[in-house]
Amino acid sequence: MTVPPSPLSPDPRRTEGVHPDHTELDRLDASALVQAFVEDQLGAVEAVRAAGGAIAEAVDAALPRLARGGRLVYVGAGTSGRLGVLDATELTPTFSWPPERAVGLIAGGDRAIRQAVEGAEDNADAGAADIRGAEVGSDDVLIAIAASGTTPYVLGAVKAARERGALTVGVANNPGTPLLAAADCAVLLDTGPEVISGSTRLKAGTAQKIALNTLSSALMVQLGKVYGNLMVDVQSSNVKLEERAVRLTCHATGASEAQARQALAEAGGHVKTALVMLRLGVGAGEAQARLQAAGGHSRAALGEG
């Protein structure tokens, strides 16, 4: 188990440092406070930009496992854990990714999504137990998130996942930390000290959110969940999404609204199927068969390569 540095000794983790530019933060009025917080968030974007190569490497490493039917498994504690659960949850309505293939694990269990569970992140054995409980295997991809890079719960999860043959991606906001050393793919988001010292729900969390969005979205694109830049695997689960499906179908095919609605009705609301139907002039069954033969990739089903 990794022991955090003593409170009396200098903490080498940059996220724990005191921001030199904001030592008078409590004296600022509302306008100046807002400006300070917003401007510091720009550091999150720069940190992710710098990590672009590492994120791309993680995408390349993860893609074959997911193509074989593996799962995305997110693990974290506190803010990091909640961001992982959020990314996992959003994959289903956005890309029709099966919910059982997007697993969010957080220290302290589901209760910790809404309520802080003190001390849960310090238990490495619990992290390992959650990995075993989720039956993580060799085709799965573990995305382990910890701003500090030293969270025992997350480190325990990574160790257990590697022992079970899973690919591990470590996302941390401090260089040279155990999480980055332990993971197969290391993604450093070096955001440095926070405006409110140590509050990694600020730009460290923002950088994690951007990185997770980027990683999972890139994977979904390469898995055929997007045609051009259109979200053709969206689940039409409410009125807003039903209307979005119509607009996407019209845009992709040049069909009228009436034609798009008819095709979507025959396709069970599935934009990708309606797209192939209208572009090739085939029925829903034929469109579905073409998509299945093409591994779900619209361009291949349309013969566009």
What pLDDT digit, counting tens, does each position of 186-213 carry? 999 999 999 998 889 999 999 999 999 9
Per-residue model confidence (pLDDT) at position 80: 96
Question: Which residues are part of the catalytic machinery?
Answer: 90, 121
Helices (H), 26-163: 30-50, 52-67, 78-95, 124-133, 152-163
What pLDDT digit, counting tens, does each position of 104-150 carry? 999 999 998 988 887 889 999 999 999 999 999 999 999 999 999 99
Q: What is the set of domains in the chain, with CATH numbers?
A: 30-222 (3.40.50.10490), 239-301 (1.10.8.1080)
What pLDDT digit, counting tens, does each position of 17-73 carry? 778 888 888 899 999 999 999 999 999 999 999 999 999 999 999 999 999 999 999
Q: Are 192 and 29 in contact (CB under 8 A)?
A: no
